[in-house]
Structure formats: C-alpha cells, structure tokens
Amino acid sequence: MRSVSLLLVAPLLAAGCAADDDWGADLDDAPDASWDGKADGVTRRVVSASSVEALDGDLSSLTPPCETADAFHSCEYYLSPSSALGDYGPIGAYGPLGTLGPLGSNAWNPSYWISAAGDWSEWSDSVEGPLSESGPLGPDGPIGDVAYFETLPSINDWSKQLQAGGVWTVLGPLGPLGALGPLGPLGPLGGHGYDTDAGGRYVHNGRTVRTIRAPWQDEPFELVEMYDEATAKAVPPDTSFVALGEIRGQSDTYPAKSQRDQWVTVLVVPEKQLDNFDLTIRDSAGRVLATSNSRSYIDWIELQAPAGGRMSIEVSLASSGHFLSKTYRLYVVGSGSRFFETDIRGAHQQTL
C-alpha cells in the first residue's frame, strides 16, 4: 500500500524548480572559525527559552517596546506556560512538529507517503512551484525583504518579536515553523522531489544532495533532512536538519557547522508530553555557548553563528513522567546571511 503512485502525490505538492548540488559542493567551504567576537569585532547574541523564562513576565527592557499583541491582550499574556512557547503550543509534543504532525514514519504522516514516490526531481524542475521565485522562498514570500522587514513588524508589537533575536523568535519565519524549516519546500514535504535513503539523506542519480540553488539567491539553500539518530551524528555537519533521537544514556550529541554568518535556531521537541529535554550548545573547544533548561517552556536556543562556526548540540533528559522510550525530535534551522543583523534588544538576549 505504501508504494503510492507519483501521479497521486505530485498534483498535491505543486512542486517547483531548483538546481541541485553535489554533497560537498557548497558545504564545508567555510574554514573553522572562532566564536570569540573580539577576533572580528562582532557582538554575537543568543536567545533561549531559559532567557525568556528569566524575564519573569517583565518585558520593560525590550527595544522596540512590546505592549500590544492583539485587541484583547498585552504581549505579556503570551509568556504564559500554557501559551505558544509551552507544552500546548505549536512547538510542543502535539503541535505540527510532533509525532501527530506531517513529519514522521507513521502511516498518518504525509512525509511517509511522499518518500514512497521515489525521485521525482526532474518533474519538479519542469514546473513552477514552491521552489520557484514565486514560492515561499522567493522575494515575495514570508522571508522576502518586504514581508520580513516591513510587513511583519508593522502588524503589532508582538509580531515584531517573531524576528531574529526576538522573545518569540522560535515561532517566527526563520525558525522550524517557517519557510526554511522542515515544513517548508526544503524539507521532507517539499517540492525538490529527491528520494531518501534509509538514514534520511536526499539522493539523486546515486549522489547525496544537500543544497539547492535559486537564481534570485546568492547563496544556496540547505535542504532540511529528517535523519535517524545515527546518521545525524555521522554526516558532515550543516545547520539544516531534523534528528529523530532517543535518550538511552546521559545525553546525545550532534555536530553542526554554520557555513555563513547567520542566526541558527535549535529546538528539541519531546515526542511524549511528559518528557522534558534540555539543550546545551558548545563550540569546537568545548566551551558552553548557550544552554536552555526551562521548566515552563519547550527548550530552544537561537544564536548568531560565525561563518565556519562549529557546534556540538547536546540533548539531555531533565525529567520524565512515564516508563516508555524517551524519544525526541531535534530541529536545527539556519537563517542565511541576509538575516544576521537585528535591531531588537532586551534582557532576554545574552552575548556570546
């Protein structure tokens, strides 16, 4: 039953066109770089679920200020653990990034059926779809200059904080829910049409494919693979993937490397709501760059990475309320260099 026909899947995807690159063509080009801002004069910032939690509901330090979220609520209302950053929000176990969402290997996950279609990338290249200039990655999409830099912050004070460096940035267009994440055209549901191997790599004509190019974009887009745990720990690192893991010991550690100056968002989503996972990110020398061990929110970290910045991402189990397997989903999403700067400031930000 799983051998679903491409004729059934393709019309639903409305795929688009993009050129593919070989495994290493655009990855690992950047030499390893130090995270020390003194070396290049750049002040790099980090935001996390823990740093937002530490605000204790006080947004008075924010610049620009955040006073109104909608006609009936202030911005502080959305800091509640029962709101968007907590267990019952879109980054929780039962949200679109969890097991009941479109990603996974279960029969109810659309990515399960899309992967059964094999390699249909040549057909994808022949039509205009989500990977085309008119799609969500293009200049008129949600990460286009007008939508991101003008429209989004003009909606209200709260929506401004969805930008990089904001209080709710993990929910915004540069995070795992956005166009560059696994739910967008670069991920397992996307319009690239590449086949996947057993570990989750995208393959085409016997080669592993990790990036695509677009004529309107100077730098390539990194595809968002959904790896099993072993593959995620073994592949050459980038900043665009999902790892399906399970804690069996103290912690799991995954490599990542930023190919450019950019914001990198890391999110760990429990597959069972009674689990609480923490995050720690270290540089190549083992120095801790950031931690997130929130008791109120799902744990996430967003940091400004240098080109060539190597990271190790550690997932650990803080607590559990059941005897079943302690499984999780680790999401890593790079923003690209267009979004490296931010005009948002506040006590929720720390410097690296």
Average pLDDT, stretch 152-156?
97
pLDDT digits (tens, 9 = 90+) for 122-143: 877 777 788 889 999 999 999 9
pLDDT digits (tens, 9 = 90+) for 263-291: 999 999 999 999 999 999 999 999 999 99
Positions of E strands within 18-69: 19-22, 45-48
Give φ, ψ of 171 to 5 degrees.
-90, -5
**How many Å apart are CA 200 and CA 208, to the nearest integer?**
10
Give φ, ψ of 152 to 5 degrees.
-55, -55
**How many Å apart are CA 232 and CA 18, to the nearest integer?**
25
Reduced to 3 states (helix: H, G, I; strand: E, B; else coil), residue 350 is strand
The residue that leads in pLDDT, 17 or 216, is 216
pLDDT confidence tier of residue 120, bands split at 50, 70 and 90 = confident
